[in-house]
Amino acid sequence: MEDWFEGMGDLLRPLVIGGVTLDNNLILAPMAGVTDLPFRLLCSEQGAALAGMEMVSAKAILYGNKNTEGLLAIHPQEGPVSLQLFGSDPKIVSEMAKRIEDRPFAILDINMGCPVPKIVGNGEGSALMREPKLAGEIIAATVKAIEKPVTVKIRKGFDAEHVNAVEMAKIAEDAGAAAVAVHGRTREQFYSGEADWEIIAKVKEAVSIPVIGNGDVTDGKSAEKLLVQTGCDGVMIGRAARGNPWLFKQIAAYLKEGHTLPPPTMEEKREMILRHAALQMEIKGEYTGVREMRKHLSWYTAGLPGSARLRGSVNQAESFAEIERLVESM
């Protein structure tokens, strides 16, 4: 039994990406509209060793888009963050990486996995899975432009007929990437069906840089399974963390001790929601903060008795006081 626990403990370990050493190998995936500053802060406190920022357009930085500044905000109390850029022009992506390098992010990530039609239509995100040569040029130019480690997020492939994650990972490594994160679905799948962990194992066999597995990790057991089955170096958690920052602490406890922590109590949920809401107001002001809190509240309360009614009320809320009142009534 003791040997088994020791083996389990080994699954939760520090992860070195370039010159950055992370406390453990649990990573919050970058998610547009989700992983803003308040949410990252909560996940870092709960044990995420690296938090992915919402993706930022390299062109938006170039043209001084006013909304971009908010996306680039980093809190001094956050743990290490990874700033994710997307774009399809090696010159623009690398020059914008250089322009923002003095900001306090630890790692620069290049998005080659986003499946959203608008992004793909512009030849960005997962469209680059169809352009391996261009992808390599973007990575190489960015690695050359900045001192900080550059990582890449890719998918299994563009569609079932074009599964090329192994080729893309090799290109990334050859171009100087410090790590690669692989989502085990194609662009065509978006987030449907099951993630193919076999492709993550194949990427791990093919490259010597750290490989971060992503897709369908929802608890300690699935995190353990992904690490054991694929041999990957780290676990990236995305949708399962929405409304559930505690997930990182739960996975860490399971990997370290084989121990399943109890779910948060209703009181802990209330406290977390109100803290999240207060951070939103502090950083974004009441008007924007309240509106952005609506989706988070629907994730926090999913599955609770009366959650549909609560969501309806939350969507009408206009102030922090109203949110507070609704949360206290949960």
Q: b/e string for 113-148 if b means 16 or more Cβ within 10 A?
A: bbbeeebbeeebbbbbbbbbeebbbbbbbbbebeeb
Q: How far does CA 175 lie from the centroid of its chain?
A: 23
Q: pTM for the full model?
A: 0.95
pLDDT at 9: 55
Residue position matching structure tokens 């290109």: 171
Q: Which pLDDT tens digit goes with each residue over 21-62? A: 999 999 999 999 999 999 999 999 999 999 999 999 999 999
153: β partners? 111, 181
pLDDT at 328: 87
Q: Is 264 exposed, middle or buried (0-12, 13-18, 19+ CB in 10 A)?
A: middle
The amino acid present at 195, given as its one-letter code, is: A
Closest to 290 measured CA to CA, from 324, 327, 317, 328: 317
Number of H helices, E strands in the chain: 14, 12
Q: Which pLDDT tens digit goes with each residue over 90-145? A: 999 999 999 999 999 999 999 999 999 999 999 999 999 999 999 999 999 999 99
Closest to 111 measured CA to CA, from 97, 125, 121, 123: 125
Closest to 273 measured CA to CA, from 232, 327, 219: 327
Does the active-site annotation cover 114? yes
Residue ranges in the chain modelled with pLDDT below 70: 1-9
pLDDT at 10: 87
Check 114, 138, 201, 277 and give the catalytic one. Answer: 114
**Residues 100, 93: Cα–Cα separation, whole Å:** 11
Domains of the chain: residue spans and CATH: 2-257 (3.20.20.70), 266-328 (1.10.1200.80)
pLDDT at 306: 80
If one counts every other C-beta atom within 10 angstroms of the C-beta of residue 73, the result is 13
**Is beta strand 15-17 parallel, antiparallel or unpaired with respect to 20-22?**
antiparallel
